[in-house]
Structure 1
Amino acid sequence: VFLATSAIHREHKLKMDKQQIIERAVASVKQAKEFCDDIEFSPEDAARTELDFLCEVVEKTIDAGATTINIPDTVGYATPNHYFKVISHLKKNVPNIEKAILSTHCHNDLGLAVANSLAAIEAGARQVECTINGLGERAGNAALEEVVMALRTRADFYGVHTKINTQRLIPTSQLVSSVTGMKVQRNKAIVGQNAFAHEAGIHQHGVLQERSTYEIMRPEDVGYTGQNLV
């Protein structure tokens, strides 16, 4: 269930005031609750919504039965520090926030979707909405493979884990690319053809001696086979 909450959407798209937004959001969650126990509510364009109003909407939709609160950066407007502050503010100022899982939904218009998602995890979010190869509206969404491997590679920092079989990341990426017809750029992190390619002589020498000198993850852990020295 989702409903836009930002001022620009209220004025130009929905033609609704704040009270009408709250009433519609609460009614929608309650109606969904009649059919399903697990309800996610998303205040669309949350990253551009006034924080006090966002807190009010979140609190009242949780009271209405929402079990997951998803915070969309619908137009990719947020930066990591900004998004961290939004999630942190909700954690601190919504009295019933512990009754729901906080989720992220980040778009990549500024190339920050993955960074914003990770910042939200650092702030306490525990669900990330993402896509294979970062597919999505306009510039795309947070790339699942990048989020997953960032959490795995930097488990020391984030202290969370997923149950995703990372050895299926490259095969899945290739399947999605084949089905959609959207090619993966060669230098795409994790799943691009050049992700584990080494061209500079000093890099090649280091990798041949010990791969971890220039690789922060094992190629086989993401489903890559072979050695790629250019």
Structure 2
Amino acid sequence: MLTDPSHKYRPFPPPALADRQWPNRTISQAPIWMSTDLRDGNQALFEPMDAERKLRLFRTLCGIGFKEIEVAFPSASQTDFDFVRRLIDEALIPDDVTIEVLSHAREPLLRRTVEALHGARSAIVHIVNATSQPFRELVLGMSRAEVLAMAIDAVRLVKQLTADQPQTHWRLQYSLETFTATEPDFAVEVCDAVSAAWGATPDNKIILNLPSSVETATPNVYADQIEWMHRHIARRDSVILSVHPHNDRGTAVAAAELALMAGAERVEGCLFGNGERTGNVDLVTLALNLYTQGVAPGLDFSDIQKVVGDFEACTGLSVPPRQPYAGELVFTAFSGSHQDAIKKGFAARQPDSVWNVPYLPFDPADVGRGYDAVIRINSQSGKGGIAHLLESHFGVVLPRRLQIEFSRVVQQHADRHGGEIGAEALWQLFAQTYLDVAKPLRYRCHQLFEHAQGQSIQLHIEWDGQPRTLTGVGNGPIAAAVQALNCLDGSVSVRSYEERSIGSGGDAQACAFVELATANGTTAYGVGMDANIVSASIKALISACNRLADDMGLCNLTKLNTSPAPIPANSAS
């Protein structure tokens, strides 16, 4: 049982920022993106990627549009060192992509890191150093002054080592690991010292990265910290302010968005939020969030399934079904009320209009997803979703009252069998209920004749397997067929009739929907399909009669007051 946590956990105090400006700002352009999938994301895997999988993911990241990619921690292992060398020696890095590598602020590691980058066209050396009080005292056993000196010495060494390789365009990134738990005055002191040691200028900017290595407070506190640094660091025009939000509190995306409002210009993270512990900020979600607000993200996720496939194949991780934008079910509605609203939104949508579909704030087509999976059927579904699925997959547009009637059939089926009902299974259930109903009556053929009252019909059926010919007269074929069927002593009337065309050209079929009512008020729909609309209508009438068989007394063959009759050899509609 969780008890009062006040003795154990205390709210993290934000910096003094009474006149904060970030709440009044909006994001109007995409940040500089930096993917750390191959380094931070790789370190977080049960089984780190081998060279081939890392190369596949590197190519995926390049294809998405990342221009800065942290590819390795070359001083940590020979595998990482060799991977960096392979990228450079085999000329696998696109001309517009800069690779980045990480190192702790220690001389042997920094020398090994710069060695790994020899011959690169463009490279970012990323130095990381913990600066917070718990790390200084508990992990490093160092004072503020010693931590500051370590940072300055590391930057000066990298500046010296890179000066010996002028063929490479060198850039420096310095990360204050555990920034969110670092005293603001010390954080700005470290930042100013390393930017001075690097000699940062507007033409040679330093990247100062302020990670929430551990997410210690709410996103608004992180935004306050970023804005405070944005205001107080020296040489602001010579600095790219970068953030690297982790997701310990589950709010990394919000933290990154607010940080951009607070002055950050660059975001580091991983595809789908991979990373140590609870992960890094999800760059897919962050980028597509911008897209939904009318901001071009500069990253291409138009084939999200390919990105998911590459990610899962390379990392061995799975993208959850509810992952924003990319999950299998994120565009899927099972709820009946949701499905009805979505169906109406699709029906009202005009080509090239602003996206405005209820419950779908994002067009699935923008990430290469079809509309097939938007509505899926289970026991929670309603008439709107069922009707949408039949229309989108099979071209059958159900009348509204038929939607209600069939939804009860689907509900009973789902309650009996459980699970999801796919499109094909739904169509089979529809066909069994309406199209394939051949007992006790089965349609064989019919002939129409001109008559003083309009038209007469000879309707050839089987009743419980016995051939019979029924006759009727009416002001049209449907009325004549109803009169013929009423000789079965069932007395039905047409309550509603609709017809549709399914398909086009030579494959087009007519679909008729007939709602019949018995004398005691019971109603049921019948559906008929045929190349000929009259035949489809008569099939629909017989379908409805079969569904009303008990009310019409059709189960008693002796009630039929007609004689068997042969079917003419040249019978036609």
CA shift, 1:57, in A, is 0.8
Q: Aligned letter for 1:174?
A: G
Aligned counterpart, 1:217 = 362
User: Which segment is superposed worse, 211-220 or 2-11?
Assistant: 211-220
Write the distance in 1 (CA, Å) between the matches of 2:195 and 2:304. Answer: 34
Write the distance in 2 (CA, Å) between the matches of 1:74 and 1:161. Answer: 28
8 Å CA contact 1:109, 1:139 repeated in 2 = yes
| 2:298 paired with 1:163 | yes
State the SS of the aligned residue for 1:64: helix
| 2:331 paired with 1:186 | no
Write the distance in 1 (CA, Å) between the matches of 2:314 and 2:281. Answer: 19
Write the distance in 1 (CA, Å) between the matches of 2:147 and 2:209. Answer: 16
Write the distance in 2 (CA, Å) between the matches of 1:123 and 1:54. Answer: 17
The partner residue of 1:102 within 241, 257, 276 is 241
CA shift, 1:187, in A, is 1.1
Runs ≥4 in structure 1, deviation > 4 angstroms?
none
Q: Aligned letter for 1:128?
A: V
The partner residue of 1:16 within 142, 145, 150 is 142
8 Å CA contact 2:301, 2:307 repeated in 1 = no
| 2:195 paired with 1:62 | yes
Q: Aligned letter for 2:286?
A: V
Q: Aligned letter for 1:172?
A: V
Q: Aligned letter for 1:19?
A: A
Aligned counterpart, 1:30 = 156
Write the distance in 1 (CA, Å) between the matches of 2:176 and 2:277. Answer: 20
8 Å CA contact 2:152, 2:193 repeated in 1 = yes
Residues 161 and 78 (structure 1), Cα distance of their counterparts in 2 relative to 1, 3 Å cut:
farther
Q: Aligned letter for 2:228?
A: H
CA shift, 1:73, in A, is 0.8
Q: Percent identity?
A: 31
State the SS of the aligned residue for 1:213: coil
The partner residue of 2:308 within 164, 167, 173 is 173
CA shift, 1:161, in A, is 4.2
| 2:298 paired with 1:153 | no
CA shift, 1:112, in A, is 1.1
Q: 1:20-58 CA deviation, whole Å, 9 max, x = no partner?
A: 111111121222223163111000000000011111111
Query: Is the radius of gyration larger for structure 1 or structure 2?
Result: 2
CA shift, 1:12, in A, is 1.0
State the SS of the aligned residue for 2:170: coil
| 2:227 paired with 1:72 | no
Higher relative contact order (CA 8 A, sep 6+): 1
Write the distance in 2 (CA, Å) between the matches of 1:213 and 1:226. Answer: 14
Richer in strand (by share): 2
State the SS of the aligned residue for 1:198: coil
User: Which segment is superposed worse, 11-20 or 162-171?
Assistant: 162-171
Structure 1: gaps (5+ residues): none
Q: 1:117-139 CA deviation, whole Å, 9 max, x = no partner?
A: 11111111111111111111011
Write the distance in 1 (CA, Å) between the matches of 2:171 and 2:217. Answer: 28
8 Å CA contact 1:78, 1:116 repeated in 2 = no
Question: Aligned-residue CA RMSD in angstroms?
Answer: 1.6
Write the distance in 2 (CA, Å) between the matches of 1:130 and 1:161. Answer: 18
Aligned counterpart, 2:563 = none
| 2:222 paired with 1:89 | no
The partner residue of 2:182 within 49, 53, 60 is 49
Q: Aligned letter for 1:20?
A: E
User: Which segment is superposed worse, 8-17 or 164-173?
Assistant: 164-173
8 Å CA contact 1:113, 1:141 repeated in 2 = yes
TM-score, normalised via structure 2 length? 0.38
| 1:128-139 matched pairs, under 5 angstroms | 128-139=267-278
Richer in helix (by share): 1
